Amino acid sequence: MDCDGNIFRSVPQARLAGRRARAFLYANVILVMTGTSACGGAANTRTLEPPTDPCVIATPPTSPADTVHIALLDPIDVTLAPNPTNDSEELIFAQAYEGLTRLDCAGDIAPSIAHSWNVDATGKRWTFDIDRNARFSDGTVVTARDIAEQYASAPIPSIDSVAATGSHVLDVYVRVPSPARPPLETTRMFVAKKTNRLPLGTGRITFSDGGADWILGRTVEASITPGSRPVLKFVMHDDDDPRDVLAESVDLLVTRDPPAIEYAAGQIRYTVRALPWDRTYLLVSRSRWDSIAAGRPVAGVTKQRLDALARDAVRADASGADPRKWWEEIGRCENPDGASLPAAPDRQMPEPGPLRHGLIVYDEEDDVSRDLAGRIVALGANGISPTGGLRAAIPRLGDDIVLAAEGVDKAELSRRVRAGTDFLYLVRQRLPGIPACDRRVELLERAPWLRDSGIQSHLAVLPLVHTRRHVIIDTARVGVRVDGLGRLLIEPYRAEGNAGS
């Protein structure tokens, strides 16, 4: 996991075709934060100096603004905290919740809530010492029991169990040995304390009134030091074109909308930065599963063909996936050094029902899924099956199957994928900080029938494209850094004398 230049790459202009992004009006959110230091040179109003810290996207200004306006394009459901489901929730939750450990953008695991750790001889039990100075936003001390209880409410597949063995000592047992460094999964063990309102976090933001007003859809304030500057004002927008939002002089916006990115790139006050690839779109093929189960070979897809798919079909910043690499990573999880991973939490592995011919089912609210579904339908109508192409990799497509696309809501998509009775499914997975084996288990949770084809089950899935977000920022008013999970951390200002900290 590293920045490897992706954060600072410019946006391919040819891909910025017109599209209006969906947005929602739920509330105006006002947050107050104290400034924190970040590495890098002095802020510049138009361009970024080369940062000394590769995780820094925009160095914060040395003088705080009175108010920083941040636009959000997705609804916020605080009951899901600390685990986000969309880009806006991720931006908010990243400021409020920290992991047991921290992953920086260079892929190094660093202390966070846990300040030290050690591993036993098996490489499967890691013992973490919890920082005794760690506090929740209400001032209460963070204990090992708090972390164990939070894990129990949101388990991670490749972690076998978690146990508090002392007030500030936590044992984490992993399924696959990790003797060299703490398990990557601990960076996603976000520390939160459940309340009857918004879960308490250990991050820099404290929500007033426990977030009750936010749940009711009204203005919410949060702070570490009441009255400190700047006030971070998060504003939700109701089906506004993001270009119109930018014209209102917001200071920070995270978007996947190509027209907004192109518009901002032409505005002198804004700097546009691409973030790391964070989503992969997978094609789950029932006909490939049928072929594998029957012992018949299935064709692959070249990355070059998928690069062309990303370029020609997806109206967003996209790159073709590398199927061979994906299959190799997932395939090693089928039996990693003799260790066994659960196929799904309930261990149910039903046979798929009779094939419902001719449908590719996708999330109707996901623009990339819609783009890909339309392109795959067009390929099915084309009689040409070039070697290494997508059409050739989907058995029966264009032969006895006439394909049509059907967009459904998330709940219906989940039900249909689990049943396995349609011809094709488009599903999305998150990339940063999630090991391949966890991605495999997540897929088997969604489609447990894949397990029945044995150790080749991963070949029934075709990774298609990766996509990523862009941050649009006025670097004279606010700074931003990114961690190894792809989370954006807002830096309101940089104290004088801390340029290298």
Q: Cis bond leading into 199, ω under 30°?
A: no
Whole-number Cα distances in Å, 449 to 348, 364, 420, 427, 460: 8, 23, 7, 15, 11
Q: In this structure, what CATH number is given to the domain that contains residue 244?
A: 3.40.190
Same-domain status, 118 and 231: no
Rounded to whole angstroms, how far apart are CA atoms 470 and 311? 17
Same-domain status, 288 and 368: yes
Same-domain status, 109 and 65: no
Residue 501 lies in a domain: no
Residue 227 lies in a domain: yes
Q: What integer pLDDT is reported at residue 32 of this predicted model?
A: 44
Q: What integer pLDDT is reported at residue 385 of this predicted model?
A: 53
Checking if the pLDDT of 46 tops 50, the result is: no
Mean pLDDT of the chain: 79
Same-domain status, 272 and 283: no
Checking if the pLDDT of 83 tops 90, the result is: no
Rounded to whole angstroms, how far apart are CA atoms 430 and 485? 10
Within 8 A by CB and 6+ apart from 101, the residues are 109, 110, 111, 112, 113, 114, 117, 128, 182, 186, 187, 189
Residue 149 lies in a domain: yes
Q: What percent of the chain has pLDDT over 70?
A: 75
Checking if the pLDDT of 190 tops 70, the result is: yes
Same-domain status, 356 and 458: yes
Q: What integer pLDDT is reported at residue 30 of this predicted model?
A: 45
Domain boundary among 156, 188, 220: 188
Within 8 A by CB and 6+ apart from 325, the residues are none
Rounded to whole angstroms, how far apart are CA atoms 252 and 88? 12
Same-domain status, 233 and 142: no
Closest CA to 425 of 392, 398, 452, 449: 449
Residue given tokens 């599963």 in the structure block = 289
Token readout for 141 is: 């001390």
Same-domain status, 288 and 265: no
Domain boundary among 169, 188, 207: 188
Residue 435 lies in a domain: yes
Q: What integer pLDDT is reported at residue 203 of this predicted model?
A: 84
Read off the pLDDT of residues 350-378 as tens digits, 9 standing for 90 and up: 556 666 668 999 999 999 999 999 998 88
Number of structural domains in the chain: 3
Q: Are 493 and 63 in contact (CB under 8 A)?
A: yes
Closest CA to 326 of 440, 485, 238: 440
Same-domain status, 43 and 130: no
Q: In this structure, what CATH number is given to the domain that contains residue 148?
A: 3.90.76.10
Q: What integer pLDDT is reported at residue 1 of this predicted model?
A: 40
Residue 274 — φ and ψ, nearest 5°?
-80, 135
Same-domain status, 371 and 460: yes
Q: Are 96 and 81 in contact (CB under 8 A)?
A: yes
Q: What integer pLDDT is reported at residue 223 of this predicted model?
A: 53
Q: What integer pLDDT is reported at residue 226 of this predicted model?
A: 53
Rounded to whole angstroms, how far apart are CA atoms 144 and 134? 11
Q: What integer pLDDT is reported at residue 25 of this predicted model?
A: 29
Q: Are 185 and 438 in contact (CB under 8 A)?
A: yes
Looking at this protein, which amino acid is placed at residue 303? Answer: K
Domain boundary among 154, 188, 222: 188
Residue 260 lies in a domain: yes
Same-domain status, 216 and 249: yes
Closest CA to 126 of 174, 185, 187: 174
Read off the pLDDT of residues 462-498 as tens digits, 9 standing for 90 and up: 999 999 999 999 999 999 999 999 999 988 887 654 4
Question: Which range marks the domain in which residue 378 is found?
Answer: 279-467
Q: What integer pLDDT is reported at residue 309 of this predicted model?
A: 93
Same-domain status, 342 and 419: yes
Residue 478 lies in a domain: yes
Q: What integer pLDDT is reported at residue 208 of this predicted model?
A: 56
Q: Cis bond leading into 395, ω under 30°?
A: no
Q: In this structure, what CATH number is given to the domain that contains residue 291?
A: 3.10.105
Residue 25 lies in a domain: yes
Token readout for 69 is: 């306006």
Q: What integer pLDDT is reported at residue 261 of this predicted model?
A: 96
Q: What integer pLDDT is reported at residue 28 of this predicted model?
A: 41
Same-domain status, 341 and 328: yes
Going through 136-193 in order, the beta strands assigned E by DSSP cover 159-166, 169-174
Comparing 238 with 149, the larger pLDDT belongs to 149
Residue 499 lies in a domain: no
